[in-house]
């Protein structure tokens, strides 16, 4: 009898019977995927600052609308063949994406690598429900491998894992 009650209790608090299933995002795989895309992208490293109170709840049963854009400021460097050497300071837009009740997120004031579609300013930084465009607090090895990728050299996540 106790196992049945435990299962019923777990089912009651679990919410919907399906969950968001995402592959673990990797910055090197993201670089490779976007390098093959028809659009152009910036690879930026630095700090995004914005009011975190504007972020949607991480999980919400209100699926009626996509969260609105969040005004933000980026200060950091853009990736060139010499590394993260190109100063990049700009007002930007942070767009949080959702998949059902699950929403992406970002943190203000944290060093991160951002993959951003190269458009006219202000560019839009996207934080999807499965991640993959923002990588917080990357290691030096990740930054070095991204530089190598940009140079056309070794570009593999394997040594970083």
Sign, CA dihedral 136-71-118-77, equals negative
> Which CATH number is 20-156 given?
2.40.50
Q: Are the C-beta atoms of residues 92 and 115 closer than 8 Å to each other?
A: no
The confidence band for 158, taking pLDDT boundaries of 50, 70 and 90, is low
The mean pLDDT of 104-113, rounded to a whole number, is 95
Is the pLDDT confidence value at 122 over 80? yes
Question: What pLDDT, on the 0 to 100 scale, is given for residue 67?
Answer: 86
pTM of the model: 0.82
Is the pLDDT confidence value at 28 over 50? yes
Which regions of the chain does DSSP assign to beta strands (E)? 41-49, 70-80, 83-96, 98-99, 102-103, 111-117, 124-127, 134-136
Domain boundaries, the chain: 20-156
Percent of all residues in the chain with a pLDDT value above 70, rounded to a whole number: 80
Is the pLDDT confidence value at 48 over 60? yes
Q: Are the C-beta atoms of residues 115 and 34 closer than 8 Å to each other?
A: yes
């Amino acid at each position: 009898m106790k196992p049945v009650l435990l299962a019923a209790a777990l089912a009651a608090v679990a919410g919907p019977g399906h969950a968001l299933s995402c592959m673990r995002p990797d910055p090197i795989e993201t670089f490779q995927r976007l390098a093959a895309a028809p659009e152009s992208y910036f690879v930026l490293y630095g700090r995004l600052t914005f009011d975190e109170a504007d972020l949607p709840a991480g999980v919400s049963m209100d699926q009626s609308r996509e969260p609105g854009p969040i005004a933000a400021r980026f200060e950091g460097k853009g990736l060139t063949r010499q590394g993260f050497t190109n100063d990049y300071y700009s007002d930007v837009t942070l767009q949080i994406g959702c998949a059902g009740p699950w929403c992406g997120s970002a943190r203000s004031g944290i060093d991160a690598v951002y993959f951003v579609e190269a458009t006219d300013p202000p560019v839009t930084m996207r934080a999807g429900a499965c991640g993959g465009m923002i990588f917080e607090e990357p290691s030096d090895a990740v930054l070095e491998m991204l530089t190598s990728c940009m140079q056309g050299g070794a570009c593999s996540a394997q040594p970083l894992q």
